[in-house]
Amino acid sequence: MVSPVSHKTAFFLGKGGVGKTTLSASFALTLARSGQKVLVASLDPAHNLGDALGSALKNEPLTVEPNLDAMEIDLETWINTYLEESRSQLKSTYSYNVTLNLDSLFKILKYSPGTEEYAVLWAIEDIHCRLSPLYDIVVLDTPPTALSLRFLSMPTISGLWVKELSKLRETILEKRSTLVRLNPESPVKESCLDKDDDKVYGKLSTIRQRLSMLEHLFQKESFINVIVNPDELSVTEALRIKDELDRLEIPISTICLNKKGVLNNEWHIHQSLAAIPMFSFDFESSGIRTRDQLIQLGTQHLVDTFLDKRSIPA
Ligand SMILES: Nc1ncnc2c1ncn2[C@@H]1O[C@H](COP(=O)(O)OP(=O)(O)O)[C@@H](O)[C@H]1O
Ligand SMILES: [Mg+2]
């Protein structure tokens, strides 16, 4: 039997100010009002999803209207969780190494490159594993492009590293076995020789599984929308997103041209984006302040495409 493609998660990506939060909110509202149970979550450290929906939001889902729950992820909490997990793992693994000052190491780690994108990644994992089963659809409003591209590439890049580390660990275990075969009295015989019993190998395998689940989510189970405005800068940024996602084998489902008619700027849609289905949303000169105005933006055709795609057999 062929199972349907489980596109359950929708992402809105694009340059700051193009309308990621607005379209995420509009898409989620339209889905909810058509009877789907929806969670819309903001991953942007500078939240404004609550403003767009006219509700104060928290780090856990709150019902904003029937069928629609919304939340704003608190990245600081996730950064602390990630650091705490790493700290306790390192402490238990290297408890004998008293010279390593873990506390000062973690003060540095908090501001190190990579920490923020890992925090976003584990927040997405939590939404995917714990919350997503409670909803028909999850909509993710994303941070600015640079951070979004970093967290989207993290599973693939870290996955490669972890694979190499696992191989290295296997080599170490094989060398230990060889030493014990050559000299059955070798003190190495006290160490772990089998990868099934090896704690380090086990931890690496767990990380690998978590990363590969997220890679699969981004590559195969997501409906990715890239938003542009009628201006060259936002189109250039969309091209950058396309290039990066191509390399990661993450397909873009739609290009959303938002604020159509805003200015008579010189702009054109690049050829490599023109091949992707495009949806247009007019510039509302009176602004978008209410939920009814979000609905009037007209995301229904985007919702229909998304729901159609979900029911196509794999
Ligand atoms: N189609 C539109 N017509 C008029 N204003 C819009 C439209 N789309 C977005 N806006 C406004 O543009 C601003 C930026 O939108 P926002 O969704 O916050 O962008 P992003 O999340 O990409 O930074 C907001 O004030 C929003 O109300
Ligand atoms: Mg936003």
The number of beta carbons lying within 10 Å of the beta carbon of residue 61 is 18
Reported as type and span, the H/E element at residue 9 is strand 9-14
- Do residues 225 and 11 lie in contact, with contact meaning Cβ atoms separated by under 8 Å? yes
The pLDDT of residue 74: 95
The closest residue, in CA terms, to atom 15 on ligand 1 is: 19
Say if CB 308 and CB 301 are below 8 A apart: no
Confidence grade of residue 97 (pLDDT, cut at 50, 70, 90): low
Query: What pLDDT digit, counting tens, does each position of 133-143 carry?
Result: 999 999 999 99
Compute CA 182 distance to the chain's CA centroid, rounded to the nearest angstrom.
Answer: 49
Min mean pLDDT across 170-174, 290-294, 302-306 is at 170-174
Q: What are phi and psi of 209, to 5 degrees?
A: -65, -40
CA of 23 to the centre of ligand 1 (A): 8
Residue 208 CA to residue 167 CA, distance in Å, equals 12
Between the CA of 141 and the centroid of ligand 1 the distance, in Å, is 12
DSSP state of 60: S
Q: If you measure from the C-alpha of residue 70 to the centroid of ligand 1, how many angstroms do you get, rounded to a whole number?
A: 18
pTM of the model: 0.90
- List the 62-65 sheet strands across, edge first: 62-65, 68-72, 38-42, 137-141, 9-14, 222-228, 254-260, 278-282
Domain extent listing, the chain: 254-261+274-309
Q: Position of tokens 């985007």?
A: 302
Sign of CA dihedral 288, 294, 299, 303: positive
Other CB atoms within 10 A of residue 257 CB: 23
Residues contacting ligand 1 via CB (< 6 Å)? 14, 16-22, 48, 258-259, 281, 283-284, 287-288, 297
Q: Would you call 178 helix, strand, or coil by DSSP? A: helix
Asked if the model's pLDDT at residue 237 lies above 90, the reply is: yes
């994303």: which residue's tokens?
A: 142
Q: Is 243 considered catalytic here?
A: no
**DSSP SS3 for 31:** helix
Q: What is the pLDDT of residues 20-31, one digit of tens each?
A: 999 999 999 999
pLDDT tens figures, 31-90: 999 999 999 999 998 889 999 999 999 999 999 999 999 999 999 999 888 888 877 777
Atom number of ligand 1 nearest to Cα 282: 1
Closest ligand to the CA of 23: 1
pLDDT in the model for residue 47? 85
Q: What is the DSSP string of 110-164?
A: HTSTTHHHHHHHHHHHHIIIIIGGG-SEEEEE---HHHHHHHHHHHHHHHHHHHH
Closest atom of ligand 1 to 281 CA is: 1
Q: What is the Å distance from ligand 1's center to 233 Cα?
A: 16
- Gyration radius of the chain over CA positions: 23
| pLDDT above 50: residue 2 | no
Are 229 and 18 in contact by the 8 Å Cβ rule? The answer is yes
Q: Identify which of 303, 292, 283 has the alpha carbon closest to the alpha carbon of residue 230.
A: 283
Q: What does the mean pLDDT of the chain come to?
A: 90
